[in-house]
A and B are shown apart, each in its own frame.
Chain A
Amino acid sequence: MMGLGFSILSGGLTLACMILPILILTSEQTFRSISKAHRQGSEALALSKFTTLFQVYLPCAIPALTAGFILGLGRATAETAALIFTSGYVDRMPDSVMDSGRALSIHIYDLTMNVPGGSNNAYGTALLMIIILLITNSSINWLTQRWNHNLTAQND
Protein backbone atom coordinates (compact mmCIF):
# COMPACT_ATOMS: atom_id res chain seq x y z
CA MET A 1 0.00 0.00 0.00
CA MET A 2 2.73 2.42 0.98
CA GLY A 3 5.06 0.79 -1.46
CA LEU A 4 6.62 -1.30 1.30
CA GLY A 5 5.51 -4.61 -0.16
CA PHE A 6 6.23 -7.70 1.90
CA SER A 7 8.92 -6.43 4.22
CA ILE A 8 10.04 -6.68 7.80
CA LEU A 9 9.46 -2.95 8.09
CA SER A 10 5.79 -3.19 7.11
CA GLY A 11 5.39 -6.15 9.51
CA GLY A 12 6.94 -4.08 12.29
CA LEU A 13 4.69 -1.13 11.57
CA THR A 14 1.66 -3.41 11.61
CA LEU A 15 2.66 -4.81 15.01
CA ALA A 16 3.26 -1.28 16.26
CA CYS A 17 -0.32 -0.36 15.31
CA MET A 18 -1.60 -3.49 17.02
CA ILE A 19 0.08 -2.88 20.37
CA LEU A 20 -0.50 0.86 20.32
CA PRO A 21 -3.88 0.63 22.14
CA ILE A 22 -2.27 -1.36 24.98
CA LEU A 23 0.55 1.14 25.32
CA ILE A 24 -1.75 4.17 25.12
CA LEU A 25 -4.14 2.71 27.65
CA THR A 26 -1.50 1.78 30.21
CA SER A 27 0.35 5.08 29.77
CA GLU A 28 -2.82 7.10 30.14
CA GLN A 29 -3.89 5.18 33.23
CA THR A 30 -0.45 5.59 34.73
CA PHE A 31 -0.22 9.32 34.26
CA ARG A 32 -3.76 9.78 35.53
CA SER A 33 -3.00 7.80 38.66
CA ILE A 34 -0.02 9.96 39.62
CA SER A 35 -1.00 11.72 42.75
CA LYS A 36 -2.35 15.24 42.56
CA ALA A 37 0.03 16.03 45.39
CA HIS A 38 3.01 15.83 43.03
CA ARG A 39 1.37 18.18 40.57
CA GLN A 40 0.57 20.68 43.29
CA GLY A 41 4.03 20.36 44.78
CA SER A 42 5.59 20.96 41.43
CA GLU A 43 3.36 23.94 40.64
CA ALA A 44 4.04 25.42 44.06
CA LEU A 45 7.75 25.35 43.32
CA ALA A 46 7.10 26.91 39.92
CA LEU A 47 8.70 24.00 38.08
CA SER A 48 8.19 24.01 34.33
CA LYS A 49 5.97 21.44 32.63
CA PHE A 50 9.06 19.91 31.07
CA THR A 51 10.82 19.37 34.41
CA THR A 52 7.61 18.11 36.01
CA LEU A 53 7.05 15.57 33.27
CA PHE A 54 10.59 14.24 32.99
CA GLN A 55 11.80 14.51 36.55
CA VAL A 56 8.70 14.09 38.66
CA TYR A 57 6.10 12.17 36.66
CA LEU A 58 8.31 9.84 34.66
CA PRO A 59 10.13 8.29 37.66
CA CYS A 60 6.69 7.58 39.18
CA ALA A 61 5.36 6.17 35.95
CA ILE A 62 8.27 4.00 34.82
CA PRO A 63 7.19 0.73 36.54
CA ALA A 64 3.69 0.86 35.08
CA LEU A 65 4.91 2.04 31.69
CA THR A 66 7.31 -0.89 31.59
CA ALA A 67 4.51 -3.27 32.45
CA GLY A 68 2.54 -1.92 29.50
CA PHE A 69 5.60 -2.25 27.31
CA ILE A 70 6.11 -5.89 28.30
CA LEU A 71 2.43 -6.66 27.66
CA GLY A 72 2.74 -5.08 24.24
CA LEU A 73 5.95 -6.92 23.55
CA GLY A 74 4.34 -10.25 24.40
CA ARG A 75 1.39 -9.44 22.21
CA ALA A 76 3.66 -8.54 19.29
CA THR A 77 5.87 -11.59 19.65
CA ALA A 78 2.90 -13.93 19.63
CA GLU A 79 1.39 -12.34 16.52
CA THR A 80 1.34 -14.60 13.45
CA ALA A 81 -1.50 -14.01 11.03
CA ALA A 82 -0.93 -10.29 10.60
CA LEU A 83 2.69 -10.93 9.75
CA ILE A 84 2.09 -13.52 7.02
CA PHE A 85 0.50 -10.80 4.96
CA THR A 86 2.91 -8.01 5.80
CA SER A 87 6.40 -9.32 6.31
CA GLY A 88 5.83 -12.52 4.38
CA TYR A 89 7.33 -15.88 5.34
CA VAL A 90 10.33 -16.66 3.21
CA ASP A 91 12.92 -18.59 5.19
CA ARG A 92 16.09 -17.04 3.87
CA MET A 93 18.22 -14.48 5.68
CA PRO A 94 16.76 -11.02 4.89
CA ASP A 95 19.11 -8.42 3.40
CA SER A 96 17.50 -5.37 4.98
CA VAL A 97 14.34 -4.22 6.76
CA MET A 98 12.83 -3.70 3.33
CA ASP A 99 13.27 -7.37 2.56
CA SER A 100 10.74 -10.06 3.30
CA GLY A 101 11.44 -12.31 6.29
CA ARG A 102 9.74 -14.57 8.80
CA ALA A 103 9.07 -14.07 12.47
CA LEU A 104 9.63 -16.88 14.98
CA SER A 105 5.89 -17.35 15.45
CA ILE A 106 5.44 -17.79 11.69
CA HIS A 107 8.35 -20.21 11.65
CA ILE A 108 6.62 -22.35 14.27
CA TYR A 109 3.35 -22.17 12.36
CA ASP A 110 5.02 -23.11 9.08
CA LEU A 111 7.01 -26.00 10.60
CA THR A 112 3.97 -27.59 12.25
CA MET A 113 1.47 -27.03 9.44
CA ASN A 114 3.42 -27.27 6.21
CA VAL A 115 6.58 -29.26 6.86
CA PRO A 116 6.17 -33.00 7.44
CA GLY A 117 8.10 -34.03 10.56
CA GLY A 118 8.81 -30.45 11.47
CA SER A 119 7.36 -30.69 14.97
CA ASN A 120 10.68 -31.20 16.71
CA ASN A 121 12.13 -28.10 15.09
CA ALA A 122 8.91 -26.24 15.92
CA TYR A 123 9.30 -27.15 19.61
CA GLY A 124 12.89 -26.02 19.45
CA THR A 125 11.82 -22.69 17.98
CA ALA A 126 9.12 -22.32 20.62
CA LEU A 127 11.70 -22.94 23.33
CA LEU A 128 13.95 -20.30 21.80
CA MET A 129 11.05 -17.86 21.74
CA ILE A 130 10.25 -18.52 25.39
CA ILE A 131 13.91 -18.01 26.30
CA ILE A 132 14.03 -14.71 24.37
CA LEU A 133 10.87 -13.49 26.12
CA LEU A 134 12.19 -14.55 29.52
CA ILE A 135 15.47 -12.75 28.91
CA THR A 136 13.85 -9.51 27.68
CA ASN A 137 11.23 -9.48 30.43
CA SER A 138 13.64 -10.18 33.23
CA SER A 139 16.22 -7.70 31.99
CA ILE A 140 13.56 -4.97 31.71
CA ASN A 141 12.37 -5.89 35.17
CA TRP A 142 15.92 -5.72 36.49
CA LEU A 143 16.47 -2.35 34.84
CA THR A 144 13.32 -0.78 36.31
CA GLN A 145 14.17 -2.11 39.73
CA ARG A 146 17.59 -0.57 39.43
CA TRP A 147 16.15 2.79 38.41
CA ASN A 148 13.62 2.69 41.17
CA HIS A 149 15.39 0.71 43.83
CA ASN A 150 15.23 3.56 46.28
CA LEU A 151 11.97 5.07 45.13
CA THR A 152 9.33 2.42 45.35
CA ALA A 153 9.26 1.73 49.06
CA GLN A 154 6.65 3.45 51.21
CA ASN A 155 5.22 5.05 48.13
CA ASP A 156 1.64 5.44 49.21
Chain B
Amino acid sequence: MTNTTRQHPHQATKLPLTESKNHLEIKNLSITYHTKKILENISMMIPRHSITAIIGPSGCGKSSFLSCINRLIDLTPKTQFSGEIYFNQHPVLNTKSDLILLRKKIGTIFQKPNPFPMSIKKNIQIALKEHGTKDSKELDRITRQVLQDVGLYDEVSDRLNDSALHLSGGQQQRLCIARAIALQPELLLMDEPCSALDPISINIIENLITRLSKQYTILIVTHNLAQARRISSSTAVFWPTNGIGELIEYGATEQIFEQPKNQITADYIRGYRA
Protein backbone atom coordinates (compact mmCIF):
# COMPACT_ATOMS: atom_id res chain seq x y z
CA MET B 1 0.00 0.00 0.00
CA THR B 2 1.13 3.49 -0.70
CA ASN B 3 0.68 5.05 2.68
CA THR B 4 3.26 7.72 2.10
CA THR B 5 3.15 10.54 4.56
CA ARG B 6 3.05 13.84 2.78
CA GLN B 7 2.65 17.18 4.42
CA HIS B 8 1.07 20.02 2.52
CA PRO B 9 1.02 23.09 4.72
CA HIS B 10 -0.64 25.19 2.01
CA GLN B 11 -3.56 22.82 1.96
CA ALA B 12 -4.79 24.33 5.21
CA THR B 13 -8.33 23.19 5.71
CA LYS B 14 -10.96 25.33 7.29
CA LEU B 15 -12.15 22.36 9.26
CA PRO B 16 -10.78 22.22 12.79
CA LEU B 17 -8.66 19.23 12.02
CA THR B 18 -5.21 17.93 12.30
CA GLU B 19 -3.46 16.99 9.08
CA SER B 20 -3.77 13.27 8.78
CA LYS B 21 -1.42 11.18 6.75
CA ASN B 22 -4.32 9.60 4.96
CA HIS B 23 -6.87 11.88 3.45
CA LEU B 24 -9.54 9.25 3.36
CA GLU B 25 -9.71 6.09 5.42
CA ILE B 26 -12.25 3.40 4.78
CA LYS B 27 -12.54 0.66 7.36
CA ASN B 28 -14.58 -2.51 6.95
CA LEU B 29 -17.23 -0.85 4.83
CA SER B 30 -20.20 -3.01 3.91
CA ILE B 31 -23.29 -1.90 2.04
CA THR B 32 -26.63 -3.66 2.04
CA TYR B 33 -29.44 -2.80 -0.34
CA HIS B 34 -32.81 -4.13 0.80
CA THR B 35 -31.61 -7.45 2.13
CA LYS B 36 -28.93 -8.00 -0.46
CA LYS B 37 -25.37 -7.33 0.45
CA ILE B 38 -23.59 -5.49 -2.38
CA LEU B 39 -20.23 -4.64 -0.86
CA GLU B 40 -18.40 -6.40 1.90
CA ASN B 41 -15.56 -5.45 4.11
CA ILE B 42 -13.79 -2.81 2.08
CA SER B 43 -10.79 -1.19 3.72
CA MET B 44 -8.68 1.40 1.95
CA MET B 45 -6.30 4.15 2.99
CA ILE B 46 -6.08 6.95 0.49
CA PRO B 47 -3.21 9.39 0.79
CA ARG B 48 -3.50 13.06 -0.01
CA HIS B 49 -3.04 14.27 -3.60
CA SER B 50 -3.03 10.83 -5.10
CA ILE B 51 -5.12 9.38 -7.91
CA THR B 52 -6.70 6.10 -6.94
CA ALA B 53 -8.40 4.12 -9.67
CA ILE B 54 -11.15 1.68 -8.84
CA ILE B 55 -11.57 -1.00 -11.44
CA GLY B 56 -13.71 -4.10 -11.69
CA PRO B 57 -16.62 -5.51 -13.67
CA SER B 58 -20.07 -3.92 -13.71
CA GLY B 59 -22.23 -4.57 -10.70
CA CYS B 60 -19.46 -5.04 -8.19
CA GLY B 61 -20.48 -2.02 -6.17
CA LYS B 62 -17.91 0.53 -7.31
CA SER B 63 -20.42 3.33 -7.73
CA SER B 64 -22.18 2.50 -4.45
CA PHE B 65 -18.78 2.66 -2.82
CA LEU B 66 -18.21 6.19 -4.15
CA SER B 67 -21.66 7.32 -3.14
CA CYS B 68 -20.98 6.26 0.44
CA ILE B 69 -18.05 8.62 0.66
CA ASN B 70 -20.11 11.72 -0.12
CA ARG B 71 -23.25 10.19 1.39
CA LEU B 72 -25.16 10.54 -1.88
CA ILE B 73 -26.21 7.01 -1.03
CA ASP B 74 -28.71 8.62 1.33
CA LEU B 75 -30.78 9.34 -1.80
CA THR B 76 -31.23 5.61 -2.37
CA PRO B 77 -33.85 4.31 0.01
CA LYS B 78 -33.44 1.06 1.92
CA THR B 79 -29.68 1.14 1.82
CA GLN B 80 -27.75 0.36 4.94
CA PHE B 81 -24.07 0.55 5.57
CA SER B 82 -21.72 -0.55 8.28
CA GLY B 83 -18.07 0.14 8.87
CA GLU B 84 -16.36 3.46 9.02
CA ILE B 85 -15.17 6.14 6.65
CA TYR B 86 -12.95 8.93 7.86
CA PHE B 87 -12.42 11.99 5.72
CA ASN B 88 -9.74 14.22 7.26
CA GLN B 89 -10.22 12.02 10.33
CA HIS B 90 -13.85 13.04 10.52
CA PRO B 91 -16.38 10.23 10.57
CA VAL B 92 -18.51 10.38 7.42
CA LEU B 93 -20.99 7.60 8.11
CA ASN B 94 -22.37 9.32 11.12
CA THR B 95 -25.94 10.54 11.27
CA LYS B 96 -24.70 13.75 12.82
CA SER B 97 -22.06 14.54 10.21
CA ASP B 98 -22.55 17.84 8.42
CA LEU B 99 -23.59 16.77 4.91
CA ILE B 100 -23.38 20.27 3.49
CA LEU B 101 -19.80 20.73 4.62
CA LEU B 102 -18.97 17.19 3.55
CA ARG B 103 -20.32 17.72 0.04
CA LYS B 104 -18.57 21.05 -0.26
CA LYS B 105 -15.29 19.36 0.59
CA ILE B 106 -15.94 16.37 -1.66
CA GLY B 107 -16.65 17.20 -5.30
CA THR B 108 -18.44 14.61 -7.40
CA ILE B 109 -18.28 14.07 -11.15
CA PHE B 110 -20.83 11.72 -12.66
CA GLN B 111 -20.70 9.33 -15.55
CA LYS B 112 -22.92 11.39 -17.77
CA PRO B 113 -22.15 15.11 -17.81
CA ASN B 114 -24.99 16.76 -15.93
CA PRO B 115 -24.75 20.52 -16.25
CA PHE B 116 -27.88 22.28 -15.08
CA PRO B 117 -30.18 23.73 -17.76
CA MET B 118 -28.84 27.25 -17.35
CA SER B 119 -25.98 29.39 -18.59
CA ILE B 120 -22.35 28.31 -18.28
CA LYS B 121 -21.70 31.10 -15.83
CA LYS B 122 -24.71 30.31 -13.70
CA ASN B 123 -23.80 26.63 -13.59
CA ILE B 124 -20.66 27.55 -11.73
CA GLN B 125 -22.06 30.38 -9.67
CA ILE B 126 -25.21 28.71 -8.41
CA ALA B 127 -23.37 26.67 -5.79
CA LEU B 128 -21.02 29.53 -4.90
CA LYS B 129 -23.97 31.82 -4.26
CA GLU B 130 -25.69 29.14 -2.25
CA HIS B 131 -22.66 28.78 -0.03
CA GLY B 132 -22.18 32.42 0.69
CA THR B 133 -20.16 34.13 -2.06
CA LYS B 134 -22.22 37.22 -2.85
CA ASP B 135 -19.83 39.72 -4.43
CA SER B 136 -20.28 39.64 -8.19
CA LYS B 137 -16.65 40.53 -8.92
CA GLU B 138 -15.51 37.68 -6.72
CA LEU B 139 -18.01 35.34 -8.40
CA ASP B 140 -16.73 36.31 -11.84
CA ARG B 141 -13.13 35.92 -10.71
CA ILE B 142 -13.76 32.38 -9.41
CA THR B 143 -15.73 31.49 -12.53
CA ARG B 144 -12.86 32.61 -14.73
CA GLN B 145 -10.32 30.85 -12.53
CA VAL B 146 -12.03 27.46 -12.49
CA LEU B 147 -12.80 27.60 -16.20
CA GLN B 148 -9.11 28.27 -16.81
CA ASP B 149 -8.21 25.41 -14.47
CA VAL B 150 -10.20 22.96 -16.58
CA GLY B 151 -8.97 24.52 -19.83
CA LEU B 152 -12.41 25.63 -20.91
CA TYR B 153 -12.08 29.38 -20.57
CA ASP B 154 -10.64 30.10 -24.02
CA GLU B 155 -13.32 27.97 -25.65
CA VAL B 156 -16.27 29.62 -23.93
CA SER B 157 -15.11 33.06 -22.79
CA ASP B 158 -17.30 34.81 -25.38
CA ARG B 159 -20.46 32.88 -24.51
CA LEU B 160 -20.52 32.54 -20.75
CA ASN B 161 -24.18 33.50 -20.77
CA ASP B 162 -25.14 30.81 -23.28
CA SER B 163 -26.75 27.62 -22.16
CA ALA B 164 -24.39 24.98 -20.86
CA LEU B 165 -26.42 22.44 -22.81
CA HIS B 166 -25.06 23.83 -26.08
CA LEU B 167 -21.56 22.64 -25.19
CA SER B 168 -20.17 19.35 -26.47
CA GLY B 169 -20.11 16.33 -24.16
CA GLY B 170 -16.45 16.75 -23.30
CA GLN B 171 -16.91 20.45 -22.64
CA GLN B 172 -19.94 19.72 -20.47
CA GLN B 173 -17.93 17.26 -18.42
CA ARG B 174 -15.15 19.81 -17.95
CA LEU B 175 -17.77 22.34 -16.93
CA CYS B 176 -19.02 19.86 -14.32
CA ILE B 177 -15.47 19.50 -13.03
CA ALA B 178 -15.13 23.30 -12.93
CA ARG B 179 -18.43 23.52 -11.08
CA ALA B 180 -17.17 21.02 -8.51
CA ILE B 181 -13.77 22.63 -7.95
CA ALA B 182 -15.30 26.10 -7.61
CA LEU B 183 -16.32 25.10 -4.10
CA GLN B 184 -12.66 24.38 -3.29
CA PRO B 185 -13.10 20.74 -2.41
CA GLU B 186 -10.24 18.57 -1.22
CA LEU B 187 -11.38 15.30 -2.66
CA LEU B 188 -12.85 14.60 -6.09
CA LEU B 189 -14.93 11.50 -6.70
CA MET B 190 -15.27 10.59 -10.35
CA ASP B 191 -17.67 7.91 -11.43
CA GLU B 192 -16.56 6.81 -14.90
CA PRO B 193 -16.16 10.44 -15.99
CA CYS B 194 -15.02 9.53 -19.50
CA SER B 195 -17.34 6.70 -20.43
CA ALA B 196 -19.76 8.93 -22.33
CA LEU B 197 -17.07 10.83 -24.22
CA ASP B 198 -15.14 10.60 -27.46
CA PRO B 199 -11.40 9.73 -27.51
CA ILE B 200 -10.22 13.32 -27.93
CA SER B 201 -12.31 14.53 -25.01
CA ILE B 202 -11.11 11.57 -22.96
CA ASN B 203 -7.54 12.58 -23.62
CA ILE B 204 -8.24 16.16 -22.54
CA ILE B 205 -10.02 15.03 -19.37
CA GLU B 206 -7.26 12.57 -18.48
CA ASN B 207 -4.66 15.32 -18.75
CA LEU B 208 -6.90 17.51 -16.64
CA ILE B 209 -7.25 14.82 -13.96
CA THR B 210 -3.49 14.40 -13.81
CA ARG B 211 -3.08 18.16 -13.41
CA LEU B 212 -5.80 18.36 -10.77
CA SER B 213 -4.13 15.69 -8.65
CA LYS B 214 -1.52 18.24 -7.64
CA GLN B 215 -4.23 20.04 -5.71
CA TYR B 216 -6.86 17.42 -5.00
CA THR B 217 -7.10 13.84 -3.90
CA ILE B 218 -8.87 11.94 -6.66
CA LEU B 219 -10.81 8.71 -6.60
CA ILE B 220 -11.83 7.54 -10.04
CA VAL B 221 -14.00 4.61 -11.01
CA THR B 222 -13.24 3.44 -14.51
CA HIS B 223 -13.95 0.52 -16.80
CA ASN B 224 -11.07 1.51 -18.96
CA LEU B 225 -8.07 -0.44 -17.69
CA ALA B 226 -5.65 1.44 -19.90
CA GLN B 227 -6.94 4.66 -18.43
CA ALA B 228 -6.48 3.41 -14.86
CA ARG B 229 -2.93 2.49 -15.76
CA ARG B 230 -2.19 5.81 -17.43
CA ILE B 231 -3.41 8.18 -14.77
CA SER B 232 -3.58 6.53 -11.36
CA SER B 233 -0.92 6.07 -8.73
CA SER B 234 -2.71 3.27 -6.95
CA THR B 235 -5.41 0.90 -8.08
CA ALA B 236 -8.11 -0.99 -6.26
CA VAL B 237 -9.69 -4.02 -7.88
CA PHE B 238 -13.26 -4.78 -6.87
CA TRP B 239 -14.67 -8.18 -7.72
CA PRO B 240 -18.10 -9.67 -7.17
CA THR B 241 -17.80 -12.96 -5.32
CA ASN B 242 -21.20 -14.66 -5.28
CA GLY B 243 -22.75 -11.32 -6.15
CA ILE B 244 -21.11 -9.49 -3.27
CA GLY B 245 -18.47 -6.94 -4.18
CA GLU B 246 -15.12 -7.35 -2.49
CA LEU B 247 -11.81 -5.60 -2.67
CA ILE B 248 -9.57 -8.33 -4.00
CA GLU B 249 -6.42 -6.34 -4.54
CA TYR B 250 -5.22 -2.86 -3.71
CA GLY B 251 -1.80 -1.42 -4.30
CA ALA B 252 0.43 0.69 -6.49
CA THR B 253 -0.88 0.78 -10.05
CA GLU B 254 2.42 -0.44 -11.44
CA GLN B 255 2.42 -3.45 -9.19
CA ILE B 256 -1.22 -4.30 -9.96
CA PHE B 257 -0.60 -4.20 -13.69
CA GLU B 258 2.91 -5.69 -13.76
CA GLN B 259 2.82 -8.22 -10.97
CA PRO B 260 -0.69 -8.78 -9.70
CA LYS B 261 -0.76 -10.96 -6.62
CA ASN B 262 -4.28 -12.13 -7.09
CA GLN B 263 -5.05 -14.60 -9.87
CA ILE B 264 -8.42 -12.98 -10.63
CA THR B 265 -6.72 -9.59 -10.99
CA ALA B 266 -4.13 -11.10 -13.30
CA ASP B 267 -6.81 -12.64 -15.50
CA TYR B 268 -8.96 -9.52 -15.44
CA ILE B 269 -6.25 -7.11 -16.54
CA ARG B 270 -5.22 -9.46 -19.31
CA GLY B 271 -8.80 -9.54 -20.49
CA TYR B 272 -9.48 -13.20 -19.70
CA ARG B 273 -12.32 -12.36 -17.39
CA ALA B 274 -15.01 -9.79 -17.80
Contacts and interface: CB of A to CB of B under 8 A. Distances in A.
A59 B117 contact: yes
Given A44-B180, A46-B103, A153-B163, A55 B118 contact: yes
Contact of A41 (B101, B114, B119): B114
A154 B110 CA distance: 18
Given A47-B126, A59-B117, A150 B163 contact: yes
B126 A35 contact: no
A47 B118 CA distance: 15
A3 to B, nearest CB: 46
Given A151-B117, A155-B117, A41 B165 contact: no
A45 B165 contact: no
30 contacts: A35-B114, A37-B112, A38-B114, A38-B117, A40-B75, A40-B110, A41-B115, A43-B72, A43-B75, A44-B70, A44-B72, A44-B103, A44-B108, A45-B126, A45-B130, A45-B180, A46-B99, A46-B102, A47-B127, A51-B126, A51-B130, A55-B116, A55-B118, A56-B117, A56-B126, A151-B117, A153-B163, A153-B166, A154-B166, A155-B165
A51 B125 CA distance: 12
Contacts of A35: 114
B183 A40 contact: no
A39 B166 contact: no
Given A44-B70, A55-B118, A60-B117, A37 B75 contact: no
B100 A46 contact: yes
A12 B34 CA distance: 48
Interface residues of A, number: 23
A154 B114 contact: no
Interface residues on B, range: 20 to 34
Interface string B85-116: 00000000000000111111001101010111
A88 B127 CA distance: 53
Given A37-B110, A43-B75, A46-B127, A150 B119 contact: yes
A41 B116 contact: yes
Interface string B158-173: 0000110110000000
Interface string B192-212: 000000000000000000000
Nearest to B191: A40
A48 interface: yes
Given A44-B107, A150-B166, A151-B163, A37 B114 contact: yes
A47 B180 CA distance: 12
Given A45-B180, A47-B127, 19 more contacts: A35-B114, A37-B110, A37-B114, A38-B114, A38-B116, A39-B75, A40-B108, A42-B116, A43-B75, A44-B108, A46-B103, A46-B183, A56-B117, A59-B116, A150-B163, A151-B118, A151-B163, A155-B117, A155-B165
A25 to B, nearest CB: 23
Contacts of B70: 44
B127 A45 contact: yes
B180 A46 contact: no
Interface string A11-39: 00000000000000000000000010111
Interface in A38-84: 38-48, 51, 55-56, 59-60
A39 B116 CA distance: 10
A56 B102 CA distance: 21
Interface string A120-156: 0000000000000000000000000000001101110
Contacts of B104: 46
A62 to B, nearest CB: 10
Contact of B130 (A44, A46, A155): A46
A39 B183 CA distance: 18
Interface in B38-76: 70, 72, 75
Contact of B165 (A39, A48, A154): A154
A72 to B, nearest CB: 24
